[in-house]
Amino acid sequence: MLFGCDFSSAPTARKPIVVAVGEMADTHRVVLTGLHRFSSLETWGDWLRGTPAWVGGFDFPFGLPRELVEHLQWPTAWSALIARYAALSRAEIRDTFAAFCAARPVGGKFAHRATDAPAGSSPSMKWVNPPVAYMLHAGVPRLLAAGATLPGLHTGTHKDRIALEAYPGLLARELIGRRSYKSDDLARQSPEREIARADLLAALEAGQTRLGLRLDLTAAQRDALRADAKGDELDAVLCLLQAAWARQRADSPGPGYGLPQAMDPLEGWIVSA
């Protein structure tokens, strides 16, 4: 199974975790076969554990910046770091990271991973807008509980469950630039954003990305993705395409799955960045 996951560290029925499931029709076409929604971390984790074999792209960070970890004198081995991090409360994470930022100059408050610049992603230590530090805290331990293998970082008990860090904004910006295509705020769910979603879908269906993949949708799926003003379903589909691209490169040099050979085994990397 191939899938992409739009993640929330505090999912609800109104803002669920969304998983887009697909399959390769041939070497250049990804067919969207379904969408799953999970209103709690527990049901999502149960689904991961109950699904026998998968390659998934997950929209949350798998690691912290090495600069931050070394400054805090936390473990620099990935598994030990995640165990240390998972034992913290969200309040402890916020206070620790806020103190780190407070001691740094304006314009350089956050530490960054090497993948942030090419991916255009937020630093994984951010606890607000978006709270990716909490997403790492909630998501990665559940991947480990499912026995997943995170290439370049961790070999799990299930080598046929492959978890990859994805980022929908990377693929979206390639196709529609900096145009906004989604908002959780009802007042900002504008016709312009709906047009941007339509343009993004048209580009995906036409295979206009450097990934060399074309998205196959039914008319009903296309209408639903365009109508989803929050963009959660579309973001899950973008992660699905990144997972498909990586799956085609499973046997590439280094960690595999298209990840760079020089990837930092503490920080991780966003596939296709």
Beta-sheet strands, E only, within the chain:
2-6, 17-26, 29-38, 54-58, 161-165, 214-216
* Global pTM exceeds 0.85: yes
Bond preceding residue 130 cis, omega within 30 of 0: yes
Q: What is the mean pLDDT of residues 242-258?
A: 97
CA 240, chain centre distance (Å): 10
Looking at residues 145-170, what average pLDDT do you find? 97
pLDDT digits (tens, 9 = 90+) for 204-247: 999 999 999 999 999 999 999 999 999 999 999 999 999 999 99
Domain extent, residue 78, equals 1-273
In this predicted model, what pLDDT tens digit does every residue of 144-155 receive, in sequence order? Answer: 999 999 999 999
DSSP labels, 185-227: SGGG--HHHHHHHHHHHHHHHHT-STT--EEE--HHHHHHHHH
Confidence label for 39 from pLDDT (cuts 50, 70 and 90): very high
Separation CA 245–CA 263 (nearest Å): 18
**Band of the pLDDT at 184, cuts 50, 70, 90?**
confident
CA distances to 14, 111, 149, 165 from 267, in Å = 32, 12, 15, 11
CA–CA dist 54, 164 (Å, integer): 11
- Say how many domains are in the chain: 1
